[in-house]
Amino acid sequence: MKKVIRSDWGIRHLIVVLCLFFCLFSCTRHTTLDSIILPSDSAVNDADRFAVIVETYISLKDSPGANGIIVNHARRKEIYEVTGTQFVSKDSESELWVHLTDGWLQRSFVELYPSRAKAETAAARLK
């Protein structure tokens, strides 16, 4: 009987070429995302329509980010309608900013609620 020698060189060669291809093209430079503006009818905006200030005294800015100019101030327990949100890059991370009727502030300074009634109840519970 004659032995048949099968060569898997073609398959091995293909696997090596595909691995090299993925290694070369997967290491591309990624650009950072500076900001994301959510549409006014997004699910995020519908769920969080009212904000309760949780800080004692906070500055509201004319635009999101550290470069915004102070245009107003807010106090703890005050309730504002949320008119929008925007992600802003700070160093290598993103921060969510909330647009209230009187200006912008960082998301960490407010608690968000879907209705005015829930916001009023939460504000009353704050010390």
- Within-domain flag for 96: yes
Distances (CA, A) of 79 to 86, 87, 111, 117: 19, 22, 10, 10
pLDDT attached to residue 9: 63
- Within-domain flag for 16: no
- Within-domain flag for 5: no
- Please write down the long-range contacts of 86-91, taking CB distance under 8 Å and 24 or more positions apart: 86/35, 86/36, 86/37, 86/38, 87/33, 87/35, 87/36, 88/34, 88/35, 88/64, 89/32, 89/33, 89/34, 89/35, 90/65, 90/66
pLDDT attached to residue 127: 82
Amino acid of residue 78: E
- Within-domain flag for 26: no
Range of the domain at 70: 35-125
Termini Cα distance of the chain: 93
Closest CA relative to residue 79, chosen from 108, 110, 103: 110
- Within-domain flag for 11: no
- Within-domain flag for 14: no
- Within-domain flag for 83: yes
- Within-domain flag for 9: no
Residue 123 near residue 79, CB atoms below 8 Å: yes
Q: Could you read off the pLDDT tens digit of each residue along the chain, which spans 127 residues? A: 555 555 566 777 778 887 777 766 666 666 555 666 666 555 554 577 999 999 999 999 999 988 899 999 999 999 999 999 998 887 788 889 999 999 999 999 999 999 999 999 999 999 8
Q: How many domains would you assign to the chain?
A: 1
Rg (CA), the chain: 26
